[in-house]
Chain A
Amino acid sequence: MMPVGEQRWEMLERIGAYAAGELEGEEAREVERLLFERPEYRRLAESYARMLVMLTTLGNEPVEAPEAVVGYAVRRAHVLAFMRSAEVFVGALGRSYIDAFVYYLGLRRESYGGGT
């Protein structure tokens, strides 16, 4: 048998799901029966409905990120773009040096410029 606290919690969640319009069919009818029979459950469903309206209202209010956040994000994007370009540039430069060094040591048979 479920402890009273757990039973109440389960009922709390069920009525919450009903208030949020997430119950269907027999489950919804069962909760409606309870709401009809028990005024405290009815009051609970009303409280849920009130809370959900508040959450939705607050959620629909436009929120703009502070200038500091946007500015920081833009700076990070620029730094990242610079680092990526630098990485590509240094990588290409390094490869060229290695190629030149390999050619200088004569480790590669074919020569640059289509020589002998």
Chain B
Amino acid sequence: MLLQEHSGLVYRVALRILGAEDAQDASQEVWIRVWRNIKNFRGDSAFSTWLYRITVNTCLSVHRKESRRGEREYSGEEMPFLPEPPGGDADPEAAALGAEQREEIQAALGHVRAEHRAALVLRHMEGLSYAQIAQVLEVPDGTAKGWVSRGRAAMLVALAEENHGAGGTAG
């Protein structure tokens, strides 16, 4: 069934873009929009692209309604470094994410500008190509690439700030 197959995608993307608090309401709003507009789906793009588009647009409109979370400014004075995992990068244990790291990633994502965050999530968490991201966000390919690039840099700055207590940034 269409819904069972895609409900995970909708909730997952909403969770990454908005966080756990708003993901459920946003997902429900997505399905309202899907049922309302499904007769307009002409198959010009893949169904998943269309669904991504509705999900991202819904998440961005939810984000616009809520008060803007503080986007981290990069002063340029410090390099945003992440601490090396205790066992080194090659340690397979280090690849598994702990609850604390998950929280840090989600918190850091919250400090990236919404459009850039959406582009970053689609690229590095959903694994979409730039052409697909451009279709989902309805922007030119170059803009999609720029948003991912800015989102990636802003995410590193925010993540280094989250890790600051553990020596995240350095001069």
Chain A interface (Cβ within 8 Å of chain B)? 4-9, 12-13, 16-17, 20, 40, 43-44, 46-59, 61-66, 68-70, 72-74, 76-77, 80
Q: How many inter-chain contacts with C-beta < 8 Å in the A-B complex?
A: 127
| B33: min CB distance to chain A, Å | 10
In the complex, identify which listed stretch (B4-12, B59-67, B136-144) lies at the interface while the others stay far away.
B4-12
Is B27's CB under 8 angstroms from A13's CB? no
Is B79's CB under 8 angstroms from A69's CB? no
Residues from chain A with a CB closer than 8 A to the CB of B102 are 58
CB of B24 within 8 Å of the partner chain: yes
Please report the C-alpha to C-alpha distance between residue A76 and residue B89 in the assembled complex, in whole angstroms. Answer: 47
Please report the C-alpha to C-alpha distance between residue A58 and residue B126 in the assembled complex, in whole angstroms. Answer: 10
Please report the C-alpha to C-alpha distance between residue A68 and residue B126 in the assembled complex, in whole angstroms. Answer: 24
Chain B interface (Cβ within 8 Å of chain A)? 3-4, 7-8, 10-12, 15-16, 24, 27-28, 31-32, 34-36, 74-76, 79-82, 84-85, 89, 95-97, 101-102, 105, 120-121, 124-127, 149-150, 152-153, 155-157, 159-160, 170
Residues from chain B with a CB closer than 8 A to the CB of A63 are 8, 11-12, 15
| B86: min CB distance to chain A, Å | 13
Is B81's CB under 8 angstroms from A5's CB? no
Residues from chain A with a CB closer than 8 A to the CB of B31 are 69, 72-73, 76-77
| A16: min CB distance to chain B, Å | 4
Please report the C-alpha to C-alpha distance between residue A42 and residue B78 in the assembled complex, in whole angstroms. Answer: 15
| Chain B residue at smallest Cβ distance from A5 | B76
| Chain B residue at smallest Cβ distance from A68 | B24
| B135: min CB distance to chain A, Å | 19
Is B35's CB under 8 angstroms from A77's CB? yes
Residues from chain A with a CB closer than 8 A to the CB of B150 are 13
| Chain A residue at smallest Cβ distance from B27 | A69
